[in-house]
Structure 1
Amino acid sequence: MNARLLLRLAVIAGALALGGLGSARAEYSFCNKSSYALSAALGYVSDDRLVTRGWWRLRAGECKRVLTEPVKAGRYYVYAEAIPGHRGPLRSWSGTTPLCVQNDSLFTLRDQDVCAEDPRRQRDFFTVDVTEEAGGAWTTEFSDENNFTVFAAQIAGVQRLLRDVGASEGDIDGYLGNATRNALRGYRRQKGLGDSGIINDTVMDALIADANAQDAQVGFFFCNATLLPVWAAFAGPRGGGAEGYRSTGWWRLGSQECAKVRRGALASEAYYVYGVMEAEDRSVPLAGGDTEFCVAAVQFDASSDEPCDEAGYQTASFRRVDTEGEAAWTFQFTPEQFNPERVNR
């Protein structure tokens, strides 16, 4: 599972018009006061059903209405994660309530059973209790350790994106100094967006698109080239200077379906893969494995630092994959890999 950091959450009641404070309005709003571009989702009860909706894209420093009807008192659920194009581990603003989402597309889900067979379609939402005193309007803020204002968050967001696309290595401090202006001018000239150091939606959207495009070209990918579903697991170096490996799973891959299982450019270390193919009457494990890592019957994220049985896991034999120094690698699950006789010839 991708590393996710639970940053400081600020949930406030009140009226917040887009772009700044204004007169009270009956609505639920999100406001991004972090330096990350976010994708956010909301859960709420409607007609006795728990509904989840998303994704709303929030530029750094952007506030957006997500519900326009009056906000009733009661419990709501919120989740946000940084766009994949940002460097480093995936940042999330999350909690402990798993709810369904639709990966990589807009969604409105009125049935929370749709992700029962695919845990990767769940996110851990945090709870927000709206009070009667809110008067029908509520705002959830997403902030980070810097506690930026909306204006400073927009500047910091551009600084982060400039670093993500390789156009700057300056600080992410929310201050529009000469170094930031010069890097922004250079990026604008390169993209044909003028020659100013002005921040606007056009340049932020261009930076977001570039950062995501670069991220899409690196990482470790699984693809299922069989005719049956495959449940896949992955083991790789822990990263961040930590020694050892982590094994994570499961990704459910339908026939001819692919998934990204590790973000960022790959290191030179070996990686390991495992899978179980769903046949009609049995589950067939991937053959040819030579290194044991921890697995579980449900979604898991296990360290190699402790014995699997002591941590409540089982073991499985993963196959080693040498990526030959490439920044990106795709492992294809093929039918013959699940046949011991074919693999061991």
Structure 2
Amino acid sequence: MLAFAAPARADLRVCNETGNMVSVALGYRAERGWMSEGWWQTPAGECRVLYQGDLERRFYYIYAVDDIGGGAWDGQVFMCTRDETFTIFGVEDCLARGYERTGFFEIDTQSRSDWTLQLTETADAPAVVGPDAGEDLEDPAFTIDPDDVTIEAPDDGATPPDGAPVPPPPADNAPPASN
């Protein structure tokens, strides 16, 4: 009798360790250029696969919002989003094309083929955390310095003024940080 091992699953996953429903958007460089897509509704205590299969890029970009309590996991890499389910190609001229301009934060997968991101909340605000010291490198999780993530309540849809400072572009294959 022959037994076959199931192939290891390699995906980009987000786990919601908060007490509320969280909506997640993903951005990355696809074959056609920069792309953003969303929304993955992630109930409290559950995980969602955002990108299925081996991760082909080192950098991915995430924006997540707490649907009940407010607050967001965001950053300084701007991509296009909208309130409904979306797949948007390009990161330029979001407002002119009828989309919102949203700040995503960068995930450096360190060129691994599988990655898990855990969204948690502290007593004051949401935070992004990684595994404890016993991390299994076969199933890595994302760790981020909380000083590198801007955490604030979502605004009423307003975007930064055109004169807002633009941060330096992220490393490697990151999209431009402009509208």
TM-score (norm 1): 0.33
Residue 111 of structure 1 and its aligned partner are, at CA, apart by 2.2
Alpha carbons 1:79, 1:92 under 8 Å: kept:
yes
Q: Which structure features the higher share of helix residues? A: 1
Give structure 2 stretches of 5+ with no counterpart. 1-6, 128-155, 165-179
Equivalent-residue separation in structure 1 for 2:63 and 2:10 (angstroms) = 21
Q: Alpha carbons of 1:117 and 1:27: their partners in 2 closer, same or farther (altered >3 Å)?
A: same
Counterpart selection for 1:61 from 17, 28, 45: 45
Percent identical residues:
26
Q: Answer 1 or 2: higher relative contact order, Cα 8 Å, separation at least 6.
A: 2
Larger Rg: 1
Partner of 1:131: 110
Equivalent-residue separation in structure 2 for 1:111 and 1:49 (angstroms) = 7
RMSD: 2.9
Residue 69 of structure 1 and its aligned partner are, at CA, apart by 2.1
Residue 47 of structure 1 and its aligned partner are, at CA, apart by 0.9
Q: How many residues align structurally?
A: 127
In the alignment, structure 1 residue 111 sits paired with structure 2 residue 95 = no
Partner of 1:140: 117
Letter aligned with residue 46 of structure 1? A
Counterpart selection for 2:13 from 25, 29, 40: 29
Give structure 1 stretches of 5+ with no counterpart. 1-22, 148-247, 252-295, 301-345
Residue 52 of structure 1 and its aligned partner are, at CA, apart by 0.5
Letter aligned with residue 42 of structure 1? L
Residue 129 of structure 1 and its aligned partner are, at CA, apart by 0.8
Residue 122 of structure 1 and its aligned partner are, at CA, apart by 1.6
In the alignment, structure 1 residue 75 sits paired with structure 2 residue 64 = no
Q: Which runs of 4+ in 1 moved over 4 A?
A: 248-251
Partner of 1:93: 73
Alpha carbons 1:32, 1:59 under 8 Å: kept:
yes
Q: Alpha carbons of 1:250 and 1:68: their partners in 2 closer, same or farther (altered >3 Å)?
A: closer
Alpha carbons 1:73, 1:131 under 8 Å: kept:
no
Equivalent-residue separation in structure 2 for 1:112 and 1:50 (angstroms) = 6
| CA deviation map 1:88-141 (0-9, x unaligned) | xx31011111110122x1111112235142797121100001123x2x111111
